[in-house]
Amino acid sequence: MSSAWAALRGARPVLLATALGAALSCGGAALLMLPAPVQAASTAARVELPDFTELVERVGPSVVNIRTLERAASGGRAGQADPGMEEFLRRFGIPLPNPNGRGQSPRNGGSAEESEPQQRGVGSGFILSADGYVMTNAHVVDGADELIVTLTDKREFKARVIGADKRTDVAVVKIDATGLPTVRIGDVGRLKVGEWVMAIGSPFGLDNSVTAGIVSAKARDTGDFVPFIQTDVAINPGNSGGPLINLRGEVVGINSQIYSRSGGFMGISFAIPIDEAARVADQLRANGRVIRGRIGVGIAPVTKDVAESIGLGKPVGALVNSVEAGGPADKAGLEAGDIITRVDGRAVERHGELPRLIGALKPGIRTTLQVFRRGGYRDLTVQVAELEPESGRRASAAESAPSAPVRGALGLTVTELPERERRELKIKGGVRVEAVDGAAARAGLREGDILLALDNAEISDVRQFQQLAAKADKQRAVSVLVRRGDWVNYLVIRPQGR
């Protein structure tokens, strides 16, 4: 339409007024009275805009509405309004309100166990197979006592959960039906930023609502195991679990999340790539759960400053900031401060790619990790273990009396670490920070930090730290490997004004 507007701006005022007047009186026939450039631009604009009607007719019957029910207890929420908004509040961890300020009694004076199920939330899904397997979001079915799946022909079925994976927010449910219309799975690798896409779902319980937009970005790292597709397709509570469809009528994603400051759609929505979701669904159907690999490390991104200061060059890979004692990585020789750059020959461009690469490996196999350490690369062989639910365990460092503090360069005052504390922390050397000021304070160092390395050189004790600090070039940035609690990271100390 921009070219058409430019053509209109170039037309003579009288001709423009005549053309617009004719348009009002003659409808579509007025296009013949417009200048030739305007006609061509308008025709091109109409051709370029997609028509979603055929896609809706083709894919729509494969999209279902999913209602979740729960049995009202003594403190239940029976009778509360807007189940779609309740689903949204639960999704984003907002406590559900109780308008009466107290529990509600079951109807007819019955017990909680005897009360009828009350609607808890609403979501969407799509049919994977003609025999009744349906894919949706894990958060849609989480905590539900009953599931009701409604087809576009208004048939309703009770569904059972085959499996749900909270890490990717993918779930598979089953209804007892045959001969159902199914979706076609697309190739996410062919999906391009700027491409038109469409969503079908049940926002706020409004069945079979269709919205459209474009792909805004790919591989958004907003989750450990999911590189999300970002779109500007209107997604609201109730759309969760519905399909994201390309112009070929293929499902390329599952609509899962929105970014919002108001509780409603604000132009940014996220979908789970269908290739990732399909791998999860296959395991859920086969095993009822997803089996993933793990190596027992905590990771962080590699910043540009850190990459330059330690000689890595580009900010690539995943910085290891903790190593689980006795875990696969520990046994393989990985250390906090290592940067993992490859897994089994595959490059790790961003730190968020590492959990997906490791998670895709079968537990028990041995794989090779390329790591960058102290200015050089090395290969380590690690045996992959199975990922278990997080235990939340945190190691605690023993309290010990520090030695006399020694004032050093770089704005740091440090003390020795007792041998007993080093053994408990499973580190070979290091010194503890007792006071910080100047450039070190600006870099973010704190009292209590443990310094493990300076400019890629390991720190064994206070004397060596003093020597390394004295040799450091005061006119350039200096990298420091710091342990703080259970985590390890690089900080960059810069001279004043840099």
The model's pLDDT over 89-114, given as tens digits with 9 standing for 90+, comes to 455 444 444 444 434 444 444 444 44
Average pLDDT for the chain:
78
Q: Which residue has the higher pLDDT, 236 or 358?
A: 358
**What does the pLDDT read at residue 195?**
94
Please give, one letter per residue, the 3-state secondary structure of 127-161. ECCCCCEEEECHHHHCCCCEEEEECCCCCEEEEEE
DSSP string covering 461-486: SHHHHHHHHHHS-TTS-EEEEEEETT
Q: Contact, 123 vs 178, CB < 8 A?
A: no
Q: Is residue 396 part of a domain?
A: no
Lowest mean per-residue pLDDT among 106-110, 256-260, 472-476: 106-110
Q: Which of 260, 290, 320 is the last residue of a domain?
A: 290
For residue 161, give the CATH number of its domain: 2.40.10.120
Instruction: Name the pLDDT band for 18 (thresholds 50, 70, 90).
Output: very low
Query: What is the average pLDDT across 373-398?
Result: 70
Rounded to whole angstroms, the Cα distance separating 412 from 474 reads: 14
Q: Are residues 64 and 168 in the same domain?
A: yes
Whether 153 is catalytic = no
**78: pLDDT strictly greater than 50:** no
Structural domain of 30: 2-49
Going by their DSSP bridges, the two strands 170-175 and 133-136 should be labelled as antiparallel
pLDDT digits (tens, 9 = 90+) for 407-429: 556 778 888 887 777 777 778 78
d(CA 366, CA 459): 32
Range of 29-33, 266-270, 481-485 with top mean pLDDT: 481-485
Give CA–CA dist 185/417, Å, rounded.
58
Total Cβ atoms within 10 A of residue 320: 26
169 is catalytic: yes
Report if residue 488 sits inside a domain.
yes
Could you say which of 62, 124, 169, 449 is catalytic?
169
265-279, 304-318, 410-424, 481-495, range with the lowest pLDDT: 410-424
Same domain for 239 and 359: no
User: In which band, very low, low, confident or very high, does the pLDDT at 79 lie, cut at 50, 70 and 90?
Assistant: very low
The answer, yes or no, to whether residue 73 has pLDDT greater than 80, is no
Domain match, 232 and 170 both = yes
Among 355, 386, 417, the domain-final residue is: 386
On whether both 11 and 42 belong to a single domain, the answer is yes
246 and 165 assigned to the same domain: yes
Tell me: pLDDT of 324 over 90.
no
| Whether the Cβ atoms of residue 181 and residue 161 lie closer than 8 Å to each other | no
Residue 77 pLDDT more than 70? no
Question: In this structure, are 376 and 421 located in the same domain?
Answer: no
399 dihedral zone (left: phi>0; alpha: psi -120 to 50; beta): beta
Share of the chain above pLDDT 70, in %: 73
193 and 280, same domain (yes or no): yes
Exactly one of 124, 202, 240, 256 is catalytic; name it: 240
% the chain with pLDDT above 90: 35
Q: 3-class DSSP state for residue 266?
A: coil
Q: Does residue 418 sit within a domain?
A: yes
* The total number of structural domains that make up the chain: 4
Work out the average pLDDT over 447-465: 84
Whether residue 400 has pLDDT greater than 70: no
In a domain, 106, yes or no: no
Which member of 62, 115, 124, 139 is catalytic? 139
Domain CATH for 428: 2.30.42.10
- Give a yes or no: residue 26 inside a domain: yes
- Tell me, yes or no, whether 237 lies in a domain: yes
Is there a single domain that holds both residue 29 and residue 60? no
Q: Are residues 342 and 445 in the same domain?
A: no
Residue 176's pLDDT band, with cuts at 50, 70 and 90, is very high
Do 285 and 319 belong to one domain?
Answer: no
Only one residue has tokens 């086969």, namely 286
Residue 33, pLDDT > 90, answer no
* Contact status, residue 261 vs residue 250, Cβ threshold 8 Å: no
Q: Which of 117-121, 260-264, 483-487 has the highest mean pLDDT?
A: 483-487
Does one domain contain both 449 and 312? Answer: no
Confidence band, pLDDT 50/70/90 cuts, at residue 496 = low
* Arithmetic mean of pLDDT, 377-395: 72
**Amino acid (one-letter) located at 154:** K
**Alpha-carbon gap, residue 406 to 404, rounded angstroms:** 7
pTM reported for the whole predicted model: 0.62
Q: What pLDDT was estimated at residue 408?
A: 57
Does 102 fall in a domain?
A: no
- Supply the pLDDT for residue 29: 43
Report the number of secondary-structure helices (H) and strands (E) in the chain.
13, 28
Amino acid identity, position 103: G
Tell me if 13 is assigned to some domain: yes
Question: Could you tell me if 22 and 62 lie in one domain?
Answer: no
